[in-house]
Chain A
Amino acid sequence: MSTTNSPRDAGGTTLPASAPATAPAVTVPDVAPAGSGSAGRPGAPAGNGQRGPAGNGRRRAPAALRALASVWRLWFFAALIVAWWLASASSSSPYFPPLSEILHRLVDLWITGDSKKDLVPSLEHFAIGYAMAGAIGVVGGALLWYFRHVRDAITPLLYFVYVIPSAAILPAIIAVLGIGNGMKIAIIVLASVWPTLLNTVDGMRGVDPLQLDTARVLHMSPLRTVRSVVLPAALPQIMAGLRNSLQISIIMMVVSELVASTSGIGFFILDAQQRFAITDMWTGIIVLAVVGSLLTLVFVAVERLVLGWYIGARAVEGKR
């Protein structure tokens, strides 16, 4: 069971003396990013000690239990690995070596060995490329949102470029930029900038007009309106775009190393396959999966941090 959305101390609503007796008790959802009990976070009840009428006194499960619960969610994943382990244990197929053998090799190559050096250039390209794509996407999207006429002129072109499979522009980029690091970063940026850009434009266009009216009523300057209203209001969609861009960045990081490259994890996998070192090849794929998962986990953690309000508001909406 996931405890993430359980009402946390539903009786924690503080009702002022003059509040109507019929006011619904507010359930305070737990939106803490890391689930730890830090003070002053959104889910913490503002305490003057008063308790609302509808308290059911339910407390959150202790931390250890919650940790166990999140591990339990991985049961199917674990079961698959066990099945793989058992099914491949006596395998003599050169293409599907026993999992135990792959893992041994993985430790030899990637933990005690030197192959981890292959990760460095890959992650460097990814970090630079993804950061650039994110920045260009958000800033460019905001500019396109602001300059409506430019947007109207450019949008059809954007969608036209967006549908080109990223790998298809790789030859063109190699032709222009050669096969160095610049090419690899460029392909990551070019392929992954679109989801963020388009989501930023869309998210900003979708800002509730009443919130913009409110900004005017409160005399916010245009710049403050963008920074304090449009950007946060569009943030849920911007983050969705950034997440999509993240996946594409990881894909393009590998793809760029499959062509005319002598380093990086993509090169490692391709090279192992060509040397017929199938076990090595599998270790590369597993490392890539682990790296991708870790990057996604980091992203989700950041998302929970900056969109805590959104996740919380959605949870409340769902209960109404």
Chain B
Amino acid sequence: MTTSRGGVATDREPTARGSGPVLSVESLRKVYNAGRADEREAIADVSFEVEAGEFVCIVGPSGAGKTTLLRCLSGLLPLTSGTALFEGAAMQRVPEQVGVVFQDYSRSLFPWLSISRNIAVPLKVRKVDRQARERRVREVLTAVGLGDVGKRYPWQLSGGMQQRVAIARALAYQPDLLFMDEPFASVDAQTRFDLEDLILRVRDEYGVTIVLVTHDIDEAVYLADRVIVLSPAPSQVKEIVAVDLAKPRSQAVTRSDERFTALRQHLLELVTAS
């Protein structure tokens, strides 16, 4: 088994393009309601690094603080202690070049805006002029495999299509790093496979680094270059597993690979072992 503990995996494919990790997490700790009677330690001690262009999945048993970790990393929650550096700088708020896709697309898309206007929101915030906005919206809609739906509203689309819109919105401002919190957990199995392939394709096209939280081990193995396994709360990094499956991956071929089965088995043992 090609594994390595702690920070940097040694036997990973050389995907880094820039110098230094995109994301580096050192002794991250998160305690809710610190100092109060209902104090709860969600994350005990988590350290890892993510190189540019890498696809990292975070798995763990339910209640392992996966979502908390992602919220801390993306700057939505303050850390109790430790550091999370994005491109070498500490995160005060959500950094400009970071995108986040939430699980609940139906709540995270604004129902009062059409699809185009939803996607254009981050561009408007960045004061991109109207023509460039329209061009960009068309581009990302095509990139996520949605055609001419710009004038429609999120609630007029199916779940899978809505999540595509959410991904398109995150891509609109070309982030360096994309955080995804169980992005495919609320769609049916077939749509899920499609979206998995979509995100792999988008990763290649845009060269974006992706950190994806999931509770689905198959999904983690299928998507990731490395899988970070968290222990039950208060979480620690149990192991970082390098996924040495051939690329590009395909649902039919990759999932029937012996290596896939072995990795899956190993991760399953890690996650279910208490």
Contact = CB atoms under 8 A, between A and B. Distances in A.
Given A26-B157, A46-B152, A312-B153, A216 B111 contact: no
A136 interface: no
B155 A217 contact: no
Contacts of A317: 155
A42 B98 CA distance: 31
A42 B114 CA distance: 8
A229 interface: yes
A228 B121 contact: yes
Q: Find the residue from B112, B113, B151 having the highest chain A CB count within 10 A.
A: B112
Contact of B108 (A26, A45, A214): A214
Interface stretch (A11-19, A93-101, A180-188, A237-245): A11-19
A7 to B, nearest CB: 11
Interface residues of B, number: 42
Chain B contact residues, majority secondary structure: loop
Interface string A35-52: 000001010111110000
Give the bracket for the number of chain A residues in contact with chain B.
35 or more
A219 interface: yes
Contacts, number: 109
B121 to A, nearest CB: 5
A296 to B, nearest CB: 24
28 contacts: A14-B147, A16-B145, A16-B147, A17-B147, A18-B194, A18-B198, A19-B145, A22-B190, A26-B157, A46-B150, A47-B148, A208-B107, A210-B104, A210-B108, A211-B107, A211-B108, A211-B110, A214-B102, A214-B110, A216-B76, A217-B94, A218-B121, A219-B96, A219-B125, A228-B121, A235-B112, A312-B153, A313-B153
Interface of A: 14, 16-24, 26, 28-29, 40, 42, 44-48, 208, 210-211, 213-214, 216-221, 224, 228-229, 232-233, 235, 309-310, 312-313, 316-317
Given A16-B146, A210-B107, 4 more contacts: A17-B147, A18-B145, A48-B148, A224-B125
